[in-house]
Every structure is written in C-alpha cells, then in structure tokens.
Chains A and B, each alone.
Chain A
C-alpha cells in the first residue's frame, strides 16, 4: 500500500492544476490541494477500487473546486447585499476575485482573462469537461469516469462548450 507522501507526489501536480484552472487563484487552489489530500488520508479506507486511485482523487479535486467556486459566489452575493448598507462597507472584506493564474504569461493575460470569463459562464459540467480534456490533457474515458458519465456524454459536453464559447466570442466582438 502506498504512503500518503507517495500518492501526493504522484497526483499533486494534476490536482493543483485542476483546482487552479477552476479557481484561477493560487491561495484557493492550494487550499483545495490541502483539502483533497486530507480527504484522501481520511477516506482512504472508503476507496473501493472501482476506479483508479487517480480518477478518485481527481474527482475529489473537481468537487472541492466546484464547492469553492459556489462558496465564492455565495460570499460575493452575501457581501453584495451588505454593501447596500453604508454602515457595513467599512468592515466588509473585499473579495479576492483578481485573476491570479501563474500559468498565464503576461502577454496573454488580458486575452485569457476574457476567455476564462467565458468559461465561467459555461454550465458546470461543460466547464469541467473542457478543463479536464483540453487543459489537463486527460483521455475522454478518464474524464468520463471523473465526471461519472459516459464517453459520449463528455464528447457532447465538449461540443456544447465549443458552441457556447463561439457564441460568447461573437457577442463580445459585436459589442
């Protein structure tokens, strides 16, 4: 049986990049990495071996990243309401929505900021399929296992994501 350190060394790179591409924030992505390997340590006994260990870990990474995104959205909405009241604005912390992706070179920063903005508008599954297949370079079959769906469904998700991105780009060009 592998030790946690071995599992960590084997999978951390992909877990971190999955989280980073979902969240575009170093601190949040590192938090997700910590949460994922804490869960691996705690729930290691629950791993049934139906899928590969990597698939199981990446599924946790995707779920934790999506949870964090939802939490971020909820916090944004919550603080947004509070900001209507002048009294609270003094102590309301500013949400860190800054685009902070260390994998994006400076010359592409503006272009990719816009592109990631479109990705944020995609439905959850389309976004995750795109990140797993096109950004992480996973096989469609592996992405299907992570998403808990079929290969055909992943291909369809990617097709719809492509159409939506084209639509978003046309809209932004039309402005």
Chain B
C-alpha cells in the first residue's frame, strides 16, 4: 500500500496523452458558419419583406382609422343636431304668426256666421 506522502494525486494527469482533433471538424465549423450566414440573409430578406408588408398594413390601418373617426364625428354631429332640434321650442316669431293666423280664422268664422 502506498504511503500517504508518496502519493501524488496529480500524477495520473501525466498518463493522459494529448489528442489530435479530427481533420473534419474545421469543415463542420465552416459549414455551420455558412448555414448561419444563409439563415441570417434569409431572415434579413424576410424581415425586409415583413417590413414592407408591415408598412402597407400600417397605412391600410391608418386609413381605416381615419374613416371610422370621420364616421363617428358625422354621427355625433347629426345626433347633436337632432337633440338640439328636439330641445329647442318654437321661436317667439312663430308663436306670434300662429296667433295672428288664429285671430284671422276666428274673425273669418264670425263673419261667415254673421252673414248667414
């Protein structure tokens, strides 16, 4: 049995040989770089198309918004007009002319009765 002081716990490290890497690893690195580059350019292309589609969609959305806002304003305007019209009573001029018309009709009726 080995004595404690003889035992070098790092000694087995000297029995591990250095190893050469397979020559194919570099070609795999290069192919990975190539595929990443292709993926990146494809994404960029997609991103560009997406951006174009996105801006188109944005403009469509913008015009839709304007239409809805305009329609809502028209509805509000009409409703205000209707409510204002309903709340507003007859003007004093209208009342006076109606009274005159009433007087005229009464007098015409009385004249007719008197003659008959």
Contacts and interface: CB of A to CB of B under 8 A. Distances in A.
Interface stretch (B20-28, B89-97, B99-107): B20-28
B26 A8 contact: yes
A111 B26 CA distance: 33
Contacts, number: 78
Contact of A33 (B13, B25, B33): B25
| Range of interface residues on B (Cβ < 8 Å) | 20 to 34
Contacts of A65: none
Interface in B1-44: 1, 4, 7, 9-10, 12-13, 15-22, 25-26, 28-29, 32-33, 36
A33 B9 contact: no
A166 B17 contact: no
| Range of interface residues on A (Cβ < 8 Å) | 35 or more
Nearest to A108: B15
28 contacts: A12-B25, A12-B26, A16-B19, A16-B25, A20-B19, A30-B25, A30-B28, A33-B21, A34-B25, A34-B32, A37-B26, A38-B29, A41-B33, A103-B18, A104-B16, A108-B15, A111-B12, A112-B15, A112-B16, A115-B12, A134-B13, A135-B13, A135-B16, A165-B10, A166-B4, A166-B9, A169-B9, A173-B1
Given A12-B26, A17-B19, A41-B29, 5 more contacts: A4-B29, A12-B25, A103-B16, A134-B10, A165-B9
Interface of A: 4-5, 8, 12-13, 16-17, 20-21, 30, 33-34, 37-38, 41-42, 101-105, 108, 111-112, 115, 118, 130, 134-135, 161-162, 165-166, 169-170, 173
